[in-house]
Chain A
Amino acid sequence: MKLTLKIWRQAGPTAEGAIKTYELDGVSKDMSFLEMLDLLNEQLVTQGEEPVAFDSDCREGICGMCSLMINGQAHGPEVTTTCQLHMRSFNDGDTITIEPWRAEPFPVLKDLIVDRSAFDRIIQAGGYISANTGSAPEANSVPAPRDKAMRAFNVATCIGCGACVAACPNGSASLFMGAKITHLGELPQGQPERWSRVVDMVGQHDAEGFGGCTNIGECAAACPKEIPLDVISQLNKDLRTALKNGH
């Protein structure tokens, strides 16, 4: 396959960025999208041009390190992460536009790499259950209803990639936050801190500059792990209850 790539290049956090166009030949349909970029970079190094910086680590769809807006879609046209997107989803002769996540709380560091540390700070605000090492009771002493445990697991699969924020016209991280609120809120162990958790996490979310949710649903459509939109309903419900009870 032969492709035309239009890629955002930006030398550093404060530098001016611009789209640059590259032609790339010899792309195989079995390549992952990132292997296609590896091929481009190998070519750039040969030509003496600095390779395109992009994030990736596990390359098996679980670490959440990879990102990219591909033709305006977070993680591209399939419901998966960019590292699991394969070139068989594209055609010979295609032009592909590649940009970093676009959201104010995710500033660009270089080329396609952004800073997502705001997500860590949201978790720090309350996205945990306080259980010091050694203090845990016997694991089977508290049964967890299977349906609730299943829902907890399904939303706990969030990989923290930030696609939901990048896809949202408001730059909201409600899906990310709702997934954690729902995961911990569905389990018996998560109950003691349930109300303070939601209030504190939402407070941090807003302080980071993420926008509010207006029920557009782009986040759930872009989520590579298919976190459902109802976690935001859960988030709102828990927040309402918490505020009503004076948290």
Chain B
Amino acid sequence: MAAGTHYLPGLTPTNEAPVQKSDDAAGFYQLGEKLVDEKAPTGPIAERWTTRKFENRLVNPANRRKLSIIIVGTGLAGGAAAATLGEAGYNVKSFCYQDSPRRAHSIAAQGGINAAKNYKEDGDSTYRLFYDTVKGGDYRARESNVYRLAEVSANIIDQCVAQGVPFAREYGGLLDNRSFGGVQVSRTFYARGQTGQQLLLGAYQAMERQVAAGTVEQFTRHEMLELIVVDGKARGIVARDMVTGAIETHLADVVVLASGGYGNVFYLSTNAMGSNVTAAWRAHRKGAYMANPCYTQIHPTCIPVTGSHQSKLTLMSESLRNDGRIWVPKNAADCDKDPREIPEEDRDYFLERIYPSFGNLVPRDIASRAAKYMCDEGRGVGPQVAEVGADGEERLVRRGVYLDFKDAIARLGEDAVREKYDNLFDMYERITGENPYQVPMRIYPAVHYVMGGLWVDYELQSNIEGLFVAGEANFSDHGANRLGASALMQGLADGYFVLPNTIREYLADGPFEPVSESHPAVVEALESVQERVNKFMSVNGTRSVESYHKELGSIMWEYCGMERTEEGLKTAIQKIRDLRADFWKNVKVLGSADSLNQDLEKAGRVADFLELGELMCIDALNRRESCGGHFRAESQTEDGEALRHDDEFAYVAAWEWGGDSNEGGQPVLHKEDLIYTAIEMKQRSYK
């Protein structure tokens, strides 16, 4: 990879604006005006963030007490933002649907967090982390945002250590690092396989300290169901108290959504059961643009599906690819054999064979597709699972590849492997009933993360004034593919360091005129939520909410999963429209609206997924190129690798809500061109 890497200061453009020639999604959308990030900085890339921080106005401590901020979500981004803004002296109201902020799904992140500390003296730097991240994202991220991310990464580690996050250490007491996919330096900090947990508890504890100090008020078991927009500005939310069923309005000067990703649109994913798109989608319906919704990360190392009862999928950290070797049998006839009896010469270590310089550490999108192809070829392992192909025919396929630690155990000893990956091996054994110290793990790709999300400018503000979006819920930093250990970095960067410095520029216009509970926009928002809840309770059909979610998930996985085609996406759009129409006629929600009702909660989330899924397919249909996690079968090289079309698609697709398509609505596409100055676009190669 080092070949051809050279430093560019960011002063002159390296590409021209794209001009799209194809129009696969014609008839499904309207083309809107181009979108420009008016807050985008210019000048030398290394000075952009420093300059912005200086130029953004300050809010003096006495005035901060008069300003209020609503933050939805308490994961790394939301928790860190609540703590930091509380420390600064603002009045923060924090909301989460879980029973405690400590349970947000950031907690499940396993492997680690990247930072350009260069503790290993292996050539790392802010610029290299920036370079790797833009390249890893297949040149579909904004360079200024990514550079800032790389720049603050080192501060994150300092902050977390000061909070007592127990990172892995070497014998001398200094911090340890490991490698992750898509890079050739060791820059990942970790706490065994529970890094997300430890970072989140750090943010949670900092936030609870502010609860005690009275600057943060926390609302647990509350779900945001509507955004309140007054005179074009976000001024509050409507939330449902999930215990009493009370529908409440909460007003503030600014609203931050840090509500996570929408991977559960696929039903099966590594997300938590409650992870949902509702907060973001409600904002979208109020005018916020949804950017690149089709960019989905399918993670290569998850435990394979065992049957139709499956409620979620479990990730095995990518860090395992440091020591595990991925293979399938060379001969399909060996697929049902005990893997320990397959001799070395009959094994195909396909990632090492196809990508000799990165081997098992290729980026996630590449590793996932390679595993899919091995299984499509009939060389997958594990139980045969029935599936319906794109041709509508049912077939039996083994969906799994081996992740083998035999060599690592021989090289390092079982104890050393245990110390590194103990909890992951235990979790694997718990779920599958097989001991991975003795038998190779079986893994298969699963939906894990979404790079798409609400559109934000450089300041993390959406196109609705006063609505800021942080963490996985926004779209800005990972392009079309996220590198391992970068989600934790982005969540904490946004929460601790970026948002507190950009939101003050907005708040410096305060104090703002208070909004009354009886303002027509507030009343309208409240009533619309009440009506929607009543609608769910009154359809009184025959099908469970769960069954709609499952069916939507299987449509999304088949047609908008690891490989997408024009024909398949068009099929999917029609299927989703039909399913959504049926949902509103035939769904059955039991219980009452004025008490704890998990079926009702789920109905709201599934209704929003049924709209989001269609937009994801339209976005994927329009983007007739392959980039990162988005692979269009029509756009590949002769040897089957992803083929980008920078001249046509080097843009952010920001979609404006245009009404329900079943009632004649069409989304409006606004394109934001990606012009690079500090890096040159190249076709990725990990060979």
Contacts and interface: CB of A to CB of B under 8 A. Distances in A.
A117 B273 contact: no
Contacts of A234: none
Given A11-B595, A123-B208, A136-B162, A156 B174 contact: no
Contact of B102 (A42, A64, A115): A64
A57 B175 contact: no
A189 B164 contact: yes
Contacts of A115: 99, 243
B108 A63 contact: yes
Contacts of B523: none
A129 B162 contact: yes
A111 B408 CA distance: 47
B590 A50 contact: yes
B273 A45 contact: no
A157 interface: yes
Given A120-B101, A146-B173, A60 B108 contact: yes
A38 interface: yes
A183 interface: yes
Nearest to B110: A62
A162 B625 CA distance: 50
A153 B209 contact: no
Interface string B130-167: 00000000000000000000000001011111111011
Given A12-B595, A63-B98, A129-B162, A84 B175 contact: no
B386 interface: no
A58 B108 contact: yes
Nearest to B80: A133
B162 A157 contact: no
A143 interface: yes
B482 interface: no
Interface stretch (B249-257, B288-296, B303-311): B303-311
A117 B119 CA distance: 40
Which of A134, A142, A159 has the most chain B CB atoms closer than 10 A to its own CB? Answer: A134
Contact of A61 (B101, B310, B427, B544): B427
B284 to A, nearest CB: 24
Interface stretch (B192-200, B467-475, B679-687): B192-200
A212 interface: no
B591 A50 contact: yes
B431 interface: yes
Q: Indicate the size class of the contact surface on chain A.
A: 35 or more
B166 A156 contact: yes
B624 interface: no
A35 B309 contact: yes
A170 B62 CA distance: 47
Nearest to B81: A133
Contacts of A11: 595
Given A63-B108, A123-B205, A57 B162 contact: no
Interface in A220-238: none
B162 A120 contact: no
A64 B194 CA distance: 13
A130 interface: yes
Contact of B100 (A41, A45, A116, A136): A116
A115 B160 CA distance: 29
B309 A128 contact: no
A175 to B, nearest CB: 16
Contacts of B513: none
A53 B596 contact: yes
Interface stretch (A24-32, A69-77, A90-98, A239-247): A24-32
B544 A46 contact: yes
Contacts of A51: 590-591, 598-599
B311 A59 contact: yes
B195 to A, nearest CB: 11
A218 interface: no
| Most interface-central of B107, B168, B496, B500 (chain A CB within 10 A) | B107
A45 B590 contact: yes
A73 B108 CA distance: 25
Contact of B87 (A56, A133, A138, A145): A133
Contact of B272 (A13, A57, A144): A57
B576 to A, nearest CB: 22
B171 to A, nearest CB: 5
A214 interface: no
A242 B651 CA distance: 60
Interface string A83-117: 01010100000000000000000000110010111
Contact of B209 (A63, A130, A146): A130
Interface in A142-168: 142-146, 149, 152-153, 156-157, 159-160
B173 A128 contact: no
A130 B166 CA distance: 16
Nearest to B205: A128
Interface string B53-97: 000000000000000000000000000100110010000000000
Contact of B205 (A129, A138, A146): A129
A84 B431 CA distance: 7
Contacts of B496: 133
Contacts of A61: 427, 430
B448 interface: no
B201 A156 contact: yes
24 contacts: A30-B309, A34-B311, A35-B311, A38-B311, A51-B591, A59-B272, A59-B311, A60-B312, A65-B99, A117-B220, A120-B100, A120-B101, A123-B205, A123-B208, A124-B211, A133-B87, A135-B162, A139-B117, A140-B119, A143-B172, A146-B171, A160-B103, A189-B163, A189-B164
Interface of B: 80, 83-84, 87, 98-103, 105, 107-108, 117, 119, 155, 157-164, 166-175, 191-192, 194, 197-198, 201, 204-206, 208-209, 211-212, 218, 220, 243, 270, 272-274, 306-307, 309-312, 314-315, 423, 427, 430-431, 433, 496-497, 500, 544, 546-547, 588, 590-591, 595-596, 598-599
Of all A-B residue pairs in the complex, the 8 with the closest CB atoms, nearest first, are A143-B173, A136-B162, A128-B205, A153-B166, A131-B162, A136-B158, A124-B212, A133-B84
Interface of A: 11-13, 28, 30-32, 34-35, 38-39, 41-42, 45-46, 48-51, 53, 55-65, 78, 80, 84, 86, 88, 109-110, 113, 115-117, 119-120, 123-125, 127-140, 142-146, 149, 152-153, 156-157, 159-160, 183-184, 187, 189-190
